[in-house]
């Protein structure tokens, strides 16, 4: 019989050894979690950066590890706030540590093949909104992973239900006191981006995703709201530049890696090929028995179908690397004239036009409930990060427009683009 108190170690190229208890080990051993070994973190990015073959499996372990480091830092730096303002006891803090570890570990278990690249193919809900991978994660942990979560001997102490973890992942009111920890899972300074930025940079072989993780963790704390609201996750004043580095790392990774012109083209082709492979061009809805059908879809299945000649024109282009070529793009933040020029180019391209994609992303949200609070202990002041950093404050959202044509049409398409731009400059 397995020892429920046994510890396991998994070696990680970023974090060294990641330690798991027997309860967590039993959860990651489930088929629904092992499927993440067959879901690439960055879709088809390896066609541009060959080393980017890592998976959601290792990323999920990394997020759990980073979330634990952040949790311990908050306990150390803000014990009095946690106890007096949020009512935590020592037992409550130990309980929520395990809750945070599970939420971090399982937040991505519902990803579709090739991760975000195929997420647009989730079906619509009754209210008209689209299902997300988070919805699938919740459906998986409340069905396929329920017994591993609820029936392990180590749960005798806490009596967790699958819904407890789901509430934290979703940020629902059911998380109650534990809702404070939501920002560790999904926020502007969460464990998810702290792991994926550095992990993706490591495997892609670039330096863009680097930032001072150790400094950021060491300065993380719970900060009281001066107006009497619930404390928020933030940093002490000494962590400002580390937080600034995190925001900038995200900007560089998106503009240089995630929005790379060829990577975006392969996202177009993957969605087109997947529409040929899926019934009604959509993944099964996670409601009811649909989650079991959804779990059968992973990268291996898609690659096998593509290798067998399925996937239509888009599948063929992926196999033969005859991807669409970008012939026109706006600035990162196009003004009205830039948008009009893009529309004019698309119109002039006519039948040569193949696809339009938007590289859209907001790098940092300002405002009371979003801006990372910074606490200066010496003067007892709380100011948002954007007030400390001009770089963060003035970093504009990306809304770049890319226009693509088939590779065989590049020559005449570029001629059209030159004529449009020439006319625009001379007007």
Q: Quick check: is 414 in a domain?
A: no
Q: Quick check: is 108 in a domain?
A: yes
**Crossing angle between the packed helical segments 299-307 and 261-277, to the nearest 10 degrees:** 80
Task: Find the domain containing 217 and state its range.
Answer: 7-311
- Number of domains composing the chain: 1
Phi and psi at 362, nearest 5°, equal -100, 125
CA dist., res. 343 & res. 339, Å (int): 6
Does 368 score more than 80 pLDDT? no
Q: Quick check: is 380 in a domain?
A: no
Report the helix count and the strand count for the chain, using DSSP H and E: 20, 9
For residue 374, the surrounding DSSP H or E stretch is strand 373-376
- The mean predicted confidence, pLDDT, of the chain is 94
pLDDT for residue 266? 97
**Residue whose pair of structure tokens reads 């990651």 in the numeric block:** 28
CB atoms within 10 A of CB 403: 24
Q: Quick check: is 56 in a domain?
A: yes
pLDDT tens readout for residues 209-227: 999 999 999 999 999 987 7
pLDDT for residue 347? 97
**Residue whose pair of structure tokens reads 């900007």 in the numeric block:** 251
Which tokens go with 331?
Answer: 């600035």
Does 406 score more than 70 pLDDT? yes
Q: Is 20 left (phi over 0), alpha (psi -120 to 50) or beta?
A: beta
* 356, 403 contact by CB (below 8 A): yes
Sorting pLDDT into bands at 50, 70 and 90, what band is 378? confident
Q: Quick check: is 328 in a domain?
A: no
Which tokens go with 171?
Answer: 């940020």
pLDDT tens readout for residues 306-336: 999 999 999 999 999 999 999 999 999 999 9
CA torsion, points 95, 96, 102, 106, in degrees to nearest 10?
150
pLDDT tens readout for residues 119-128: 999 999 999 9
pTM over 0.85: yes
Does 427 score more than 60 pLDDT? no
Average pLDDT over residues 255-263: 97
pLDDT for residue 289? 85
More confident call, 7 vs 288: 7
pLDDT for residue 176? 63
- Quick one: what percent of the chain has pLDDT higher than 70? 97
pLDDT for residue 5? 83
pLDDT tens readout for residues 274-290: 999 999 999 999 987 89
pLDDT for residue 379? 81
How far the first Cα of the chain sits from its last, in Å, is 80
Burial label, 121 (beta-carbon count in 10 A; 0-12, 13-18, 19+): buried
pLDDT for residue 288? 79
pLDDT tens readout for residues 165-204: 999 999 876 666 667 899 999 999 999 999 999 999 999 9
pLDDT tens readout for residues 39-74: 999 999 999 999 999 999 999 999 999 999 999 999
pLDDT for residue 173? 61
pLDDT for residue 177? 60
Pairing of strands 232-236, 398-405: unpaired
324-326-327 Cα angle (round to 5): 125
CATH number at residue 113: 1.10.3210.10
pLDDT for residue 425? 56
CA torsion, points 155, 156, 159, 164, in degrees to nearest 10?
-10
Q: Quick check: is 391 in a domain?
A: no
Contacts of 281 (CB under 8 A, 6+ apart): 121, 274, 275
More confident call, 166 vs 228: 166
């Amino acid at each position: 019989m397995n020892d429920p108190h046994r510890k396991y170690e998994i070696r990680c190229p970023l974090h060294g050894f990641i330690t798991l208890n027997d309860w967590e080990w039993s959860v990651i051993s489930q088929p629904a979690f092992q499927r993440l070994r067959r879901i690439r973190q960055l879709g088809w990015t390896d066609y541009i950066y060959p080393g980017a073959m890592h998976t959601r499996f290792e990323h999920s372990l990394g997020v759990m590890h980073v979330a634990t480091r952040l949790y311990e830092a908050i306990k150390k730096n803000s014990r009095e706030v946690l106890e007096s303002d949020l009512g935590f006891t020592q037992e409550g803090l130990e309980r929520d540590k395990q809750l945070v570890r599970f939420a971090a570990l399982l937040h991505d278990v519902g990803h579709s093949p090739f991760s975000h690249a195929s997420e647009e193919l989730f079906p619509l809900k009754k209210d008209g909104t689209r299902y997300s991978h988070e919805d699938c994660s919740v459906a998986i942990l409340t069905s396929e992973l329920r017994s591993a979560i609820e029936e392990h001997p180590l749960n005798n102490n806490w009596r967790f239900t699958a819904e407890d973890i789901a509430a934290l992942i979703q940020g629902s009111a059911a998380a109650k006191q534990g809702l404070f920890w939501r920002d560790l899972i999904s926020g502007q300074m969460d464990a998810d981006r702290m792991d994926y930025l550095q992990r993706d940079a490591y495997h892609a072989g670039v330096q863009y995703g680097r930032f001072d993780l150790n400094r950021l963790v060491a300065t993380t704390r719970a900060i009281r709201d001066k107006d009497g609201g619930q404390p928020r996750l933030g940093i002490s004043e000494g962590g400002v530049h580390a937080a600034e580095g995190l925001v900038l790392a995200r900007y560089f990774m998106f503009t240089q890696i995630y929005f790379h012109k060829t990577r975006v083209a392969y996202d177009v082709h993957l969605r087109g090929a997947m529409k040929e492979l899926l019934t009604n061009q959509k993944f099964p809805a996670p409601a009811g028995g649909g989650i079991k059908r959804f779990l059968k879809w992973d990268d291996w299945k898609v690659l096998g179908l593509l290798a067998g000649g399925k996937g239509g024109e888009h599948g063929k282009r992926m196999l033969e690397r005859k991807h669409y070529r970008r012939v026109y793009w706006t600035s990162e933040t196009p003004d009205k004239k830039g948008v009009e020029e893009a529309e004019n180019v698309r119109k002039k391209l006519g039948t040569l036009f193949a696809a339009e994609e938007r590289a859209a992303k907001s790098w940092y949200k300002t405002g009371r409930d979003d801006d990372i609070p910074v606490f200066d202990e010496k003067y007892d002041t709380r100011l948002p990060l954007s007030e400390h950093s001009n770089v963060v404050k003035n970093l504009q959202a990306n809304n770049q427009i890319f226009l693509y044509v088939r590779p065989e049409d590049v020559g005449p398409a570029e001629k059209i683009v030159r004529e449009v731009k020439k006319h625009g400059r001379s007007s």
